[in-house]
Amino acid sequence: MRIIVALDILNGKCVRLIKGDYNKVKVYNENPLEVAKEIECNGIEYLHLVDLDGAKNKKTVNYKILEKISGKTRLKIDFGGGVRSLEDLQAAFNCGASQVTLGSIAVLDPQLFLKWLAEFGQEKIILGADVRKRKVSTSGWTEGSDKEIMSFIADYRAKGVKYTICTDIDKDGMLRGPSTGLYKEILKIPGIKLISSGGISSVEDIEEMDKIGCEGTIIGKAIYEGKLTLKDLSRLC
């Protein structure tokens, strides 16, 4: 299972939100490149870079940070946040993203999402499936939808999606363990490669995600709050 470290960017700084609330922000480092280099120095290969400014503004904002990190590290970067246009998507790849996570556009414009999936390929496009009370949320978790999580992922899997990141918003930033039951349900969808996100607080949580069959798991706040160290994670890679 891939170990993926989350790096969330807001106003050019490395931050974390609680349950996606932009009014509950904690700044951990004012230099995202410094954080990325430390991740790389500990032998971790994968970075989940989230443009929170982009998600909120419905257009990608932090291209330059992506470009700087990809240019000065060897991290394999999954980038997401505010990608709503072909220009945004192409810029993300041009700035060094290995994969791009698309969530809101998959809810709001399924035909465009599927067009991009066909054009860029299933290895490059990750379906973002952020969920609150089994309904998919959009726009940096600020807007809800009527899309039920299981049918949302299953329908897109049937149309060619290979990877999905599922974040249980109510778990995110709470350090109370992941949504194991939900992830077990999703993993029953044939052929889906699930990247779990939200709630990880211990090595045991990570091992549990591996045991149930996740392709990857994203860890964020547990690192920044000192519950887990990058050395802890490097031993699991």
| Strands 2-10 and 46-51, bridge-based pairing | parallel
| Strands 21-29 and 46-51, bridge-based pairing | unpaired
140: left (phi > 0), else alpha (psi -120 to 50), else beta? left
Catalytic residue among 51, 53, 88, 130: 130
DSSP code for 133: T
Residue 191 contacts residue 157 (beta carbons within 8 Å):
yes
Alpha helices, DSSP H only, in the chain? 32-41, 52-57, 63-72, 86-94, 104-108, 110-120, 149-158, 180-186, 203-212, 221-224, 230-234
Give the up-direction half-sphere exposure of residue 180: CA atoms within 13 A in the CB hemisphere.
Answer: 12
- Rounded Cα–Cα distance for residues 62 and 52 (Å): 9
Active site residue 8: yes
Active site residue 53: no
Catalytic residue among 8, 53, 78, 172: 8
Helix %, strand %, coil % for the chain, to 5?
35, 30, 35
Q: Which residues are catalytic?
A: 8, 130
